[in-house]
Structure 1
Amino acid sequence: MVKGEVHNFSRGSIPRNIMSLALPMTAAQLINVLYSVVDRVYLGRLPGHLALTGLGLTIPIVSIIMGFANLCGTGGAPLCSIKRGQGDNEEAERVLGNAFTLLLIFGAAVTAVFLWFKQPLLYLFGASDATYPYADAYMTIYLLGTIFVMIGLGMNPFITAQGFGGVGMMTVGLGALVNIVLDPIFIFGMGMGVRGAALATVIAQGCSALWVLRFLTGRRAILRLRVRNMALCAPRVRSIVTLGLSGFFMNLTNSLVQVVCNATLQAYGGDLYVGVMTIINSLREVFFMPVQGLSNGAQPVTGYNYGAGQYSRVRRSIRFSVAVTVAYAAAFWAVAMLFPGMLIRVFNNEPEVVEAGIPALRIYFCLFIPMSLQMAGQGVFVGLGRSKQAIFFSLLRKAVINAPLTVILPIWMGTTGVFTAEAVSQLIGGLACILTMYFTVYRPLGSLPDQPLERV
């Protein structure tokens, strides 16, 4: 049996193949969120809510950094899966090497730009004179560890794309464990406050990055990171970047909307409502990650079978991933609607924060189920290498629908308009994406005959 045959997704049960990757990836995504969420939980226990609000102001910058990591990771990993399905492991390794080089370049550039423009950006993002010192302290240290974020987050999809879901989970599990242990030591024990939270995060991400590099250069990997494959090739880079723009624009538009939300909430509600949005964003990250984990877990299986010409299996993977995504989204929606106060108190117990946060949270998540359909549909587009559709729907919900409504609705609705804008975008964006995927991908694949398995 050849080495790659162990992770041949053209054979065996589709649900089993997907869940063997999705479960550890979901766990990995949830653990990954702990990097920032644990920081917010600890800082939310400091007197007042200024530290938590200040940390929330850095979310757009962190999201952009993650976007550049996704540009390479979610762009290169599906290409690797397709090439593996076609039996071309050499080209898959070249994609891996080029993606790594891009991560290093983007990491250096992003660090320099954000350090230079840090102060005006934070004020643009909704900082006040009271919250800027907290945001500045966290952001300065976090930016110095950008390269660790890029390597750990950007290269981990290449581990999962080879079928090593458990190893991918360990990447973020190691970092999260280090972060959880160091946070209280630095924040409270050493009295470093937000600086301690940032330092713990950087050290944790450095551990994850070293773990990823150790695996991808070791003997267990089917596709290895080799120096000879790191020289950039324009057509290959173009393919990686074009497909990765979907994940990049998702992070970029999330950042854009967060900037608009913070600025609008600062104008209509002050630091209190910026703090409420920080809590809601933290909950969104936690409960959104299983949806993203399932979508990312299905992509290697979908892409591999598509490359192998097993179109009936592609359709089965689409059906399964959409069904599980909707079931999970419905469960979270019920929790958010029934127990909003309990969720908010995880981060902050102040009565004014809880009072303002309960109605805001219910409005924000009231249409979470349709939004999960966008992730399912967009994951199919990325898994099959259909970059144009993936990019379009990344931009549609946030940039075209959400951002303008966030500015317009508060004119009549005040702070409520900011949270209503998100709900409206979830409904329109989700339905548009899933219906487009159904009519342009799922139904046409039903008319294509499967290729013989000997081709795999």
Structure 2
Amino acid sequence: MATTTKEMTTGAPLPLIFNFTIPLLLGNILQQTYSLIDAAIVGKFLGINDLAAIGASTSVVFLILGFCNGCCCGFGIPVAQKFGAREYETMRRYVSVSLQLATLMSVVIAILTCIYCADILRSMRTPDTIFQGAYYYLLVTFIGVPCTFFYNLLSSIIRALGDSKTPFWFLLFSTILNIVLDLFCILVLGWGVLGAGIATVVSQGISALLCYFYMYRHFPILKGTADDRKFRMPLAKNLLYIGVPMGLQFSITAIGSIMLQSANNALGTACVAAFTAAMRIKMFFICAFESLGIAMATYTGQNYGAGKPERIWQGIKASTLMMMVYAVCTFTILMFTSDKISLLFVDASETEILRDTVLFLHVSCYFFPILGLLCILRYTIQGAGYTNLAMLSGVSEMIARTLVSIYAVPVFGFLAVCYGDPVAWVAADLFLVPAFIYVYRRLKRRKGASSLLSA
């Protein structure tokens, strides 16, 4: 039975965005649930040092995989725009070229990152007590870059067609397989943090392969001729023009995170463990903002292609309302239960780590509305194809985190680490608000010019 696509160019924006966001949110919750379980297994069964080993490489993983994921999201934007404009032949050609680019880019990235893996960890001042574990975990993650790249690209293409449910089911399968392999590799085979990395790569590779065959079998709109599958340089250039800035935006943001994590690493293993636990919990709660942003990228891309900028502004208002409701609920939960949630990762006897974890979460949740607005505006701007502006917002984040790392952490210690992300979110919003106003005015002028030409 063929899977249906869905246009988001007509109908009330709020229910459209909400219904599209829910599968994305469930998928992100699955990913973060696995991340929590993975950290809990490592922290409880392998110890604080192994938990810190994974945490010490978190920002580096985000640097590389964030670039890959950003490129994949960017490659999906022309697909969404052509789908919204109902130019299905060009859309299919974009899909084929994006898969060819993904093959080349993922292999090159995997090779380069594997070669420089140890040097990256040394540059981050990773403590000697956790260096070996962090190296093995990072090396396996880099080897699996092609699996991650293709999995995210295929999911992005499917979402561009208005279907956010199918990627969720593949993610559900991947998460369950990941947890099973995690337990098997760590508890049965005794491979430690190396086993955690292997479990993730294998589960994503299998899911990517299944997703590819399913997509072409169940989405008739993607089935084309041999001519549609040819490599086309103009389309490749446009994909790279949109995708690479999105990838760089993630990576530039991650550079600031690496600076912050490097400064935190210098504070000792206890601070690294607290940072790792707090980040896992925080990422679990903020995945709704990311999901809402991804929904806005698809919504904006389709309405941009359809020439309906007024619907983009309606979508901004609807998504902001949903974001604020969620931010208030999340604030309430974290302010009263952070200490209990933290016990999932460390024993109650580790009082210093628990105290720092709770402090990090309390500071972060005050700034969640700022983060929510950041995700909505950034992805909306990306969906309209202005990925260079979104990349510059990442530069704002990087500068803010770098300044906190260099000047605040040495003076205020872990308290400054807690404020690293919130300061970066504020800096990004100070750029994104006027950037969105600029983009929206351009879209309205473009529509006015098109109306005059057609009159």
Give the counterpart letter for 1:356 in structure 2: D
More displaced stretch, 140-149 vs 286-295: 140-149
Query: Relative to 1, partners in 2 of residues 1:421 and 1:358: Cα closer, same or farther, differing over 3 Å?
Result: same
- Equivalent residue in structure 2 for 1:306, among 267, 290, 304: 304
In structure 2, relative to structure 1, the CA distance for the partners of 1:186 and 1:298 (3 Å cut) is same
TM-superposed deviation, 1:160:
1.1
Report the alpha carbon displacement of residue 450 of structure 1 after superposing the two structures with TM: 12
Superposed displacement of residue 284, structure 1: 2.8
- Identify the range of structure 1 (246-255 vs 280-289) with the bigger mean alpha-carbon deviation: 246-255
Deviations 1:329-361 (A, max 9, x none): 232233233322123222222323102222233
Give runs of aligned pairs for residues 50-449 of structure 1, distance below 5 A. 50-224=49-223, 228-229=227-228, 231-267=230-266, 269-349=267-347, 350-397=350-397, 399-438=398-437, 440-441=439-440, 445=444
Q: Give 1:179 shift.
A: 0.8
Query: How far apart are the structure 2 equivalents of 1:227 and 1:136?
Result: 44
Q: C-alpha displacement at 1:211, in angstroms? A: 2.3
| CA separation of 1:155 and 1:125: change in aligned 2, threshold 3 A | farther
Alpha-carbon deviation of 1:11?
A: 2.5
Indicate the SS of the match to 1:191: coil
Q: Contact 1:311/1:450 (CA < 8 Å) preserved in 2?
A: no
Secondary structure of the structure 2 residue equivalent to 1:46: helix
CA RMSD of aligned residues (A): 2.7
Cα deviation, 1:48-107, whole Å, max 9, x if unaligned, reads 310001011221332133223224321121211111122211111121112112211121
Aligned-pair CA distance for 1:4: 11
CA 1:440–1:304: 2 relative to 1, 3 Å: closer
Per-residue deviation, 1:228: 4.9
Cα deviation, 1:98-137, whole Å, max 9, x if unaligned, reads: 2112211121112111221111211222322210121122
Q: Secondary structure at the residue paired with 2:222?
A: coil
Is contact 1:382–1:390 with CA below 8 Å preserved after alignment?
yes
Q: Residue 65 of structure 2 contacts residue 145 of structure 2 at CA under 8 Å; is this kept in 1?
A: no
CA distance in 1, matches of 2:269, 2:228: 49
Inter-partner Cα distance in structure 2 for 1:40 and 1:228: 47
Q: TM-score, normalised by structure 2?
A: 0.90
TM-score (structure 1 length as normaliser): 0.90
Contact 1:365–1:423 (CA under 8 A) maintained in structure 2: no
Shift of 1:415: 2.5
Shift of the 333–234 alpha-carbon distance from structure 1 to 2, 3 Å rule, reads: farther
Instruction: Give, as a single letter, the amino acid of the residue that structure 2 aligns with 1:218.
Output: R
Per-residue Cα deviation, 1:399-426 (whole angstroms, up to 9, x for no partner): 1222222211123212222222322222
Q: What amino acid is aligned across from residue 274 of structure 1 in structure 2?
A: V
Output the CA distance in 1 between the equivalents of 2:192 and 2:4: 50
Amino acid at match of 2:291: G
What secondary structure, in the 3-state scheme, does the structure 2 residue paired with 1:87 have?
Answer: coil
Q: Distance in 2 between matches of 1:236 and 1:127?
A: 42
Q: Displacement of 1:439 after TM fit?
A: 5.5
Rounded to whole Å, the distance in 2 between the matches of 1:262 and 1:307 is 40
Q: Deviations over 1:279-314 (max 9, x none)?
A: 222123222221111111122222212211223322
Q: Which moved more, 1:288-297 or 1:218-227?
A: 218-227
User: 2:18 is paired with a residue of what secondary structure?
Assistant: helix
Matched to 1:392, the amino acid is L
Q: Alpha carbons of 1:222 and 1:161: their partners in 2 closer, same or farther (altered >3 Å)?
A: same
The answer on 1:48 being equivalent to 2:58 is: no
User: What are the superposed Cα offsets for residues 160-183 of structure 1, whole Å, 9 maximum, x if unpaired?
Assistant: 111221101112111001011222
Corresponding pairs, count: 449
Structure 1: how far apart are the matches of 2:361 and 2:394?
23
The CA deviation at 1:30 is: 2.1
- Amino acid in structure 1 at the alignment position of 2:296: A
Question: Could you tell me how far apart the structure 1 residues matched to 2:13 and 2:411 are?
Answer: 49
Question: In 1, Cα distance between the equivalents of 2:282 and 2:310?
Answer: 34
Shift of 1:200: 1.4
The answer for unaligned runs of 5 or more in structure 1 is none
Give the 3 Å change call, closer, same or farther, for CA 450–114 of structure 1 in structure 2. Answer: same
Aligned mates of 1:225, 1:43 — CA distance in 2? 46
Q: Is the 8 A contact 1:159 1:168 kept in 2?
A: yes
Distance verdict in 2 for CA 1:295–1:356, change over 3 Å: closer
CA distance in 1, matches of 2:86, 2:344: 49
8 Å Cα contact 1:312/1:450 also seen in 2: no
Distance in 2 of aligned mates of 1:409 and 1:88: 52
Local SS of the residue matching 2:129? coil
Secondary structure at 1:385's aligned position in 2?
coil
Percent identity (aligned): 19
Contact map agreement 1:326 1:373 (CA 8 A) in 2: no
Deviates more, 1:108-117 or 1:413-422: 413-422
The CA distance in 1 between the partners of 2:42 and 2:13, in whole Å, is 43
Q: Which amino acid aligns with 2:38?
A: D
In the alignment, the residues of structure 2 paired with residue 238 and residue 326 of structure 1 have an alpha-carbon distance, to the nearest angstrom, of 38
- Structure 2 unaligned regions, length at least 5: none
Structure 1 stretch displaced more, 426-435 or 140-149:
426-435
Contact 1:257 1:403 in 2 (8 A): yes
2:221 is paired with a residue of what secondary structure? coil
Q: Is the 8 A contact 1:302 1:383 kept in 2?
A: yes
Q: Contact 1:72/1:99 (CA < 8 Å) preserved in 2?
A: no
Q: Is the 8 A contact 2:3 2:219 kept in 1?
A: no
